[in-house]
Structure formats: structure tokens, C-alpha cells
Structure 1
Amino acid sequence: MIDPELLAAASWTTRPVAAEDTEGLRVTAAEGSDAWRHTSYGFVHDDANGLLAPFGVRDAVEVEFVLDYTEQFDQAGVLLRASAEEWVKAGVEVSDGVPQIGAVVTHGTSDWSVAPVPDWVGRRVTVRASRDGDAITVRARADDEPFRLVRVAHVDPALELRAGPYCCAPTRAGLTVQFTRWERVAPDAALH
């Protein structure tokens, strides 16, 4: 279910090619869309197709989507953004032919962490981002498996963030992601 209150408060960072309300939210990413700043590659991309709503200092959202994409750097998940230089994206990105659960944390420059999840193909993936003061905790799972910790990242507690589903298609046209759920949930009570 896509929370109607979140949807009403949301706006796109960059408009996708298409977004339809069909059994959730079906989004077709813009060709060449991505989010990255400088590190290793030297380029800046700031045109991820993110649908973001206000995100509090103690808050959490879950985004669920079907992992049915296969092209290099196709990606979907949750985006938390304060500005072009302060953001976190987390989800599943295809890298070298393998879907990888991971996160990019950007404080002026981006970093990237991934772990392969080939057994998640064709399944519903849920990514949860919790914020508590100066920390963002990202967890993910496939279907109803237990959540696994993906990342704990620093965030300035004074930043005003917006959060929600996103997708990008850096290397092609035609990536369409079926988001089946986006809702506010209780933040993680503890790291462990």
C-alpha cells in the first residue's frame, strides 16, 4: 500500500518518464538518471527519480518493490535527501550482472557499499530507513525474511530531510519499477 498522506505531501526530485497508480506505484525511470558525487568517477549526477515527503528527526519509512530488473546499474529503493550534497540512497542495484543490496551515503562526496543478493531476484524487497538524531539505520529483506542490517550512517541532526521511493537507470531507457508499498513505520528501537 502506498500511504496516501505521504503521497499527498511528496514531490519528485526529478520527474520520471512515467508514474502510474497501478497496484501501488509503477515508475519508469529517465534514461541516464542517477545520484552520485565525485568519488572515484569524478562526475556529479543529481537526477534520481525520487518521490520524497518530509522525514523527521525520529522517523522511519519502508519502501517495497519487486526486484525484476537486470541491466547494469538499474536501481531502486529509498532516498533520503536534504540537498544535492547531503543524501542517502539505499536499495538494490545491479552491478556486474548481480543484484546487490547496498547504500550510497553522500556528505559532499559519495561512498558506496554493496553485498550480492542474487536469490532476491523476482521477489518483493523491502528497504527500511530509520532516523534517530545523528544516525540513519538501513535494513532490508526479501519477502517476509528477517531484516538484515545494510548500513548505519551519520547524518547531521539539524538537517531537514525528505524521504521516499526512488529509481534510476544510468545506462538505459525503459527501466520500470513496481513499488508495492511506501509507508511510515516506527523507527528501529535499537541497532541490535
Structure 2
Amino acid sequence: MTHTVPWTDGSWSNRPVAVATDADGLHVTAREGSDAWRLTSYGFVHSSEHALLTAFEPESAVEVRFRLDFAEQFDQAGIFVRVGDESWVKAGVEVSDGEESLGAVVTRGSSDWSLSPVPGWAGRLVTVRGSWSGNALTVRARVDDEPWRLVRVAPLMADGPVTAGPYCCAPSRSGLTVHFTSWRTTPPDDHLHPGG
């Protein structure tokens, strides 16, 4: 069963500079320097992301849609799935070295980052979906109503509560405002591969 999650249902992991809602959705202005990362390559730990989180149940999916309107290095938005301080996944679109790229950071103690350029997505609506089934989180994304793309399959096992929802970060600048247009929960994906 698909359920629209009210913006008021979530709690912020870190409060943004500004939050506003209107008929078109949620507008979030990120703090300069906000980010989520642990150790790998850079050596630092950042846990200042702006993630609006609510309970995420096994055998379900979380889906977030936002307008891709980024301009600076490392501007990013998508979904955040939190198991604990050292175990989480963020997935979505990020500006890296001058181009928008679709990717994920999977963190279990240390972070692991993957990216793939998505030319032609700028200015359009991007949907990112995290489906928790069995012991895995399967992340897919699409632009407008184009076919889903597989982004990542990562282990997701938890002894306690898991939370998930929309997130954004602005590691290198002030003034990033992300326009989220929807937040939904749905049944999980039936199969890892089409026709499976």
C-alpha cells in the first residue's frame, strides 16, 4: 500500500538553516559545510546532514522526489537511511567535479562512495527509491517518468529501529535550497531484476 508521508511526520537529524512548506512541497535550505561521511580517504567524520527521518520498516520502500537544481561542488539530495551513528546510507544526486552524478554512500564504520554521471537531468524531477527486502537495501532512481535505474544493492541488517527520509547537504557553500515535491512509503520491489 502506498502512503504519502506528511512533512510534519519526520524529525531532523540536524536542523537546516530554513524549512518551508507550501502547496508544491518542502523547501530546505542547507547549512554551509553540512555533510555525511566517515573516515575513508579524507580522514574526517561529518554527521551534519539534514535528514528528515521517520520509522522505516522491513519489507517496505521509501521514495523521495526533488527538483534537481544544483550549482556548486558537492550539492546533494536524495534519501537517507539511518541504522546508527556508524551505519547509514545516503543516495541521490550530487554535483561532483562539475557534473550531476547519481550515486550512493554506504557506511558501515567507514564510508564507500559510488557515482555515475547523469547528463540531461538538471532542472528535472528526480525520484530516489530505497527498497528494504530481506537483508538488503536496493536503491533505484529515475528522472521524470523515465525507467528506473539500479543505483546500489547494499546489506541492511539491524537489531534496532531504522529510520529513513529525504536529505540534503551543502558541503562547500551556503545558499543551497532543495525543493522536495513528495515523500512516500510503498511496498518493496518484487525483484532485483526486471522480469525476475
Describe the shift of the 1:57–1:158 C-alpha distance in structure 2 as closer, same or farther (beyond 3 A): farther
Give aligned-pair identity as a percent: 59
Task: Give the match for residue 135 of structure 1.
Answer: 136
Could you list the structure 1 runs, at least 4 aligned residues long, displaced by more than 3 angstroms after superposition.
5-9
2:167, 2:188 → 1: CA distance? 20
TM-aligned CA deviation for residue 28 of structure 1: 0.3
Are 1:63 and 2:101 matched, yes or no? no
Task: Give the match for residue 28 of structure 2.
Answer: 27
Matches within 5 A, 1:42-53: 42-53=43-54
| Contact kept? 2:81, 2:90, Cα under 8 Å | yes
3-state DSSP of counterpart to 1:178: strand
Structure 1's unaligned 5+ residue stretches are none
TM-aligned CA deviation for residue 6 of structure 1: 4.6
Are 1:121 and 2:99 matched, yes or no? no
Task: Give the match for residue 11 of structure 2.
Answer: 11
3-state DSSP of counterpart to 1:112: strand
Give the TM-score normalised by structure 2.
Answer: 0.94
Matches within 5 A, 1:74-89: 74-89=75-90
3-state DSSP of counterpart to 2:7: helix
2:6, 2:164 → 1: CA distance? 10
Structure 2's unaligned 5+ residue stretches are none
TM-aligned CA deviation for residue 57 of structure 1: 1.3
Describe the shift of the 1:160–1:133 C-alpha distance in structure 2 as closer, same or farther (beyond 3 A): farther
2:67, 2:156 → 1: CA distance? 28
Task: Give the match for residue 150 of structure 2.
Answer: 149
3-state DSSP of counterpart to 2:178: strand
3-state DSSP of counterpart to 1:118: coil
Paired residues, number? 190
TM-aligned CA deviation for residue 133 of structure 1: 2.4
Give the TM-score normalised by structure 1.
Answer: 0.96
TM-aligned CA deviation for residue 8 of structure 1: 4.0
| Contact kept? 2:7, 2:26, Cα under 8 Å | no
| Contact kept? 1:57, 1:157, Cα under 8 Å | no
**One-letter amino acid of the counterpart of residue 85, structure 1:** E
